[in-house]
């Protein structure tokens, strides 16, 4: 088993089901970060929920953490977009992931 490391996350989550996604985000970052919600236009007159996340999470790798975050979000809403930047150690950028399903 690999040693767990501390990673910092700065991410944006876009979804049409923010009421369903919000509790998942809150649980994942509870006590280790914050979730701020905003609303954006889709260009077609509809509104899309967007959340900004800043948190610290512990895991074996940034990729593993990114997969688990996206998996948890997609259990609630398949059409969820995650744009994440993970850093570790001396604030060196480890992984930038832009994962979308639409």
81: domain CATH number is: 3.30.70
- DSSP code at position 91: T
Confidence label for 46 from pLDDT (cuts 50, 70 and 90)? low
User: What is the average pLDDT across 85-93?
Assistant: 74
The three-state secondary structure class of 26 is: helix
Pair 72, 78: CB distance under 8 Å: no
User: What is the average pLDDT across 20-46?
Assistant: 79
The three-state secondary structure class of 81 is: strand
What pLDDT is attached to residue 12? 92
pTM (2 d.p.):
0.74
Q: What are the φ/ψ torsions at residue 47 (nearest 5 degrees)?
A: -115, 145
* H helical segments located in 1-102: 18-29, 62-76
Number of independent structural domains in the chain: 1
Q: What are the φ/ψ torsions at residue 38 (nearest 5 degrees)?
A: -135, 170
- Which domain range does residue 10 map to? 5-99
């Amino acid at each position: 088993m690999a040693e767990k490391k501390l990673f910092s996350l700065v991410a944006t989550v876009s979804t049409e089901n923010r009421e369903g996604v919000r509790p998942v985000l809150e649980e994942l970052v509870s006590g280790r970060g914050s979730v701020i919600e905003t609303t954006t236009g889709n260009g077609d007159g509809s509104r899309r929920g967007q959340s900004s996340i800043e948190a610290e999470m512990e895991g074996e790798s940034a990729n593993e953490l990114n997969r688990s975050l996206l998996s948890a979000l997609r259990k609630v809403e398949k059409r969820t977009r995650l744009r994440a930047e993970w850093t570790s150690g001396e604030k060196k950028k480890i992984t930038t992931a832009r994962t979308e399903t639409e």
